Amino acid sequence: MPIELGIWRLGATPQKVVFSSIDSEARLEQTLCKDISILSPSLMLIGQQVPTAYGTFIDMLAMDRDGNLTVIELKRNKTPREVTAQALDYASWVKNLSYTDIATIFADKNNGKALEVAFAEKFSTPPPEKVNERHTLVVVASELDAATERIINYLCTNYGVPINAVFFRYFKDGDSEFLTRTWLLDPHAAEENILPPHGTETWNGRDCYVSFGEGEHRNWEDACRYGFISGGQGRWYSQSLNLLAPGMRVFACIPGSGYVGYGVVTETMVPVTNFTVSINGQEMQILNAPLVAPNMADNSSNSDLCEYLVRVEWKQVKPRNNAYWEQGMFANQNTACRLRNRFTLEKLYQYFKLED
C-alpha cells in the first residue's frame, strides 16, 4: 500500500496544505507529456493517444534506454476491472511491435522526427539493435482506490505481470501549485516479480554491474580511498546510476582489465559538487580532497555533463593489475545495470568468497 504524503506550511503555527484532485485527468496527461521525467527520468515519450490495431488508443507510449516499452494508461473514471483489462489488452498489442513500427509511431506523433535522432538526444547513444524485448504497464491516477491496488498487487506479485500504478496528489498554496508522486509498488522491487521473456535470466533484486571506466575524470584508487563509483561527462554515462539504491550490491569492472571489487551502495547518486569525504576528521567536498584523477571537476556546473557519484561501502577491492576476468564473463557499455548473468555471478561469488 502506498505511503500517504503530507505537506505543511511552516510559520508561527504549522498549517497543513490540503490536497485535491488535479483539475482533470486530461491536465495530468498533458503535464506528463510535457515532461515524462515526472513519471521516470529514464523514459522517452514515443507518443500520446497512440492508435492500436483494435480501434483503441493508448494514452501514452514510452521507451527506456534499453529499447523496452512502457504503456501508460490514465485511470480516469474507469472501474478497476476496466483500467487493468484495458492495460493488459494494450500489452497484447504492444508486445508484437517491431523497430519499424515504433519508429513509424514516433514519426507520426512528432512531426516526422526520426526516432534515432530523438533517442540520441535523450540518452546520448543510438537505439539498441533489439528493442521491445520487454514491456511494462503503468496505471496513472489522481487517486487510487483499494480495488485497483488489490488487482495490481495480485497480478504483479503472484503472476509476474509487469504492471504497476502511480498516483499523483495535487496541492495548491496561494498562486503556487504542486504535484507529488507515489508508486504503489517500489519500481525496483516490482521488477523482481516480473517474469522475464523466455530464455532470459532473472535478476536477484540486489546484484548490479558497474563499468568503472578510468581516465582523467575518475580513477580506481580514488574510488577505493573515498568509497564511491562514478560516471559522467554525458547523460548517457550518468543516467544509469539512478538504478542504484541503498542496500544493492555492486561489482565494479574496469573495461579491458576485469572485476576489481564489490561493495554495498549506501547513498543514491549525487553530482560531484555534493559528494563529501572525511579526511582526518574533517568533512570536505571531494573536489577539495587529494585526487589521482586530474579533471574530476570538469563540467561540474553543468548538470548534464558533470560527474555523478554513488557512495559505496567497499567489502573487497583489488588493484587494477590484479583484476579478475574469465572468458565469457558479463561486460556492458552501460555505467550501471542489473547483473543477471548466472555464469558471471557464480564466478564472482567464488572469487570474492561469497557464500550466496
pLDDT digits (tens, 9 = 90+) for 271-328: 999 999 999 999 999 999 999 999 999 999 999 899 999 999 999 999 999 999 998 8
Selection from 188, 182, 191 nearest residue 156 by Cα: 191
Which pLDDT belongs to residue 63? 95
Burial bucket for residue 157 (CB in 10 Å: 0-12, 13-18, 19+): middle
Which pLDDT belongs to residue 47? 95
Which pLDDT belongs to residue 198? 47
Which pLDDT belongs to residue 129? 72
Selection from 1, 124, 132 nearest residue 63 by Cα: 132
Q: Helix 80-94 to helix 146-159 angle, to the nearest 10 degrees?
A: 40
pLDDT over 90 (residue 226)? yes
What SS3 class is residue 42?
coil
Going by pLDDT thresholds of 50, 70 and 90, the confidence category of residue 11 is confident
Going by pLDDT thresholds of 50, 70 and 90, the confidence category of residue 189 is low
**Rounded Cα distance, 245 and 310, in Å:** 9
Higher pLDDT, 21 or 244: 244
Over residues 72-86, the mean pLDDT reads 84
Q: Which residue has the cell 522526427?
A: 113
Q: Which residues of 320-343 are buried (b: 16+ CB within 10 A; e: fewer)?
A: eeebbeeeebbebebbbbbbbbee
Q: Which residue blocks in 22-109 are alpha helix, DSSP H? A: 25-34, 80-94, 99-109
Over residues 239-255, the mean pLDDT reads 93
**Residue ranges of domains in the chain, CATH in brackets:** 7-193 (3.40.1350.10), 207-351 (3.10.590)
pLDDT over 70 (residue 192)? no
State which amino acid sits at residue 65: R
Going by pLDDT thresholds of 50, 70 and 90, the confidence category of residue 331 is confident
Higher pLDDT, 249 or 203: 249
Cβ-Cβ contacts under 8 Å for 310 (sequence gap 6 or more): 228, 229, 230, 241, 244, 250, 265, 267, 268, 269
Over residues 83-100, the mean pLDDT reads 91
Higher pLDDT, 103 or 66: 103
**Rounded Cα distance, 47 and 102, in Å:** 10
Please check whether residue 296 is in contact with residue 217, taking contact to mean a CB–CB distance below 8 angstroms.
yes
Going by pLDDT thresholds of 50, 70 and 90, the confidence category of residue 102 is very high
Over residues 12-27, the mean pLDDT reads 69
Please check whether residue 195 is in contact with residue 160, taking contact to mean a CB–CB distance below 8 angstroms.
yes
Please check whether residue 230 is in contact with residue 220, taking contact to mean a CB–CB distance below 8 angstroms.
no
